[in-house]
Amino acid sequence: MTKRLLITRRLPAAAEERANRDYTVVQNADDHQMSADEIIEKAADVDALLITITDKMPADVINRLPEHIKILSTFSIGYDHIDLEASKARGIQVGNAPHGVTVATAEIAMLLLLGAARRAGEGEKMIRTRSWPGWAPLQLVGQRLDGKKLGIFGFGKIGRALAQRARGFDMEIHYHDIVRAKPEDEKGAIYHDTLDSLLSVSQFFSINAPSLPSTRYFFNTEAIEKMPQGAVVVNTARGDLVKDEDLIAALKSGRLSYAGLDVFAGEPNINEGYYDLENTFLFPHLGSAAIEARNQMGFEALDNVDAAFAGKDMPFKLA
């Protein structure tokens, strides 16, 4: 009998076509945000779950899943929405989709760097609100990227892909990670063995680190005070790496000149202070929103499901 798979959100057509070819899919047809209770209820009639990053799976939800559920795959690189220890205790295999997002997210980080440096958000607002008075020598004067020091916190696949793109703009690449990269991956990037050292040189600073107890809300007033005056920060990683109140205060005071943000704590209900803050360039979590990326994410999530049903380890196994 064909295995039954619950997919909690609508996926790109190619991924859904493959899923429907291989499984009996229980589909969230109207793409609403399913509650934990709804997922648990539907799990009673399926053999595996394919969830997304908006589906929170803390221990109490994992422990309420039907006993027969042993396969959980997430359509995301991030997995902080899943309690892995609780999953292990229940014998549930968990996998993610780690590779599809790399190029797409690095492109968005580069776009945020450019948009922040050249005040793109303010310029577009001026056009759309019909308030552009015409060209003037001092209108929306930003700064160039060439020759500037870009600090990258988190030099994994996305961080390295961003570095590659930033080199095309003649930026000087600096980075910090818990392990120094191989020379062939550094490609001349300057390693800092502490985050404080990286912050001290970062005229531009890109957050590409995972959300962990050690990194959560690390970007606060204390971190900001270690940066050059008027630095620019961009975040395409996780919203909870930034203490919003401290970033907003630094942007209002001019301690930081600009921020480009694609992720937010509590999204979509973001800190109210961002809405009227002109020196921000804000996106609604677009990092992986390229069809090539989303297709690959769907395929990788399904690869995990296929392997688990075949009695094998998931290729992108987390637990």
Instruction: Enumerate the active-site residues.
Output: 238, 267, 285
What secondary structure letter does DSSP report for 213? T
Under 8 Å CB-to-CB from 309, ≥6 apart: which residues?
Answer: 3, 47, 48, 71
Whether the bond into 66 is cis, omega within 30 of 0: no
CA dihedral (137, 143, 145, 149) in degrees, to 10, reads 150
72 DSSP β-pair partners: 49, 94
3-state secondary structure of 197: helix
Cβ 170 vs Cβ 145: under 8 Å: yes
Among 244, 246, 239, smallest CA distance to 209 is for 239
| Nearest-angstrom CA–CA distance, 39 and 48 | 11
Gyration radius from the chain CA atoms: 21
Q: Which two tokens stand for residue 84?
A: 């892995």
* H or E element, residue 158: helix 157-167
- How far is Cα 9 from Cα 28, in angstroms, rounded to an integer? 6
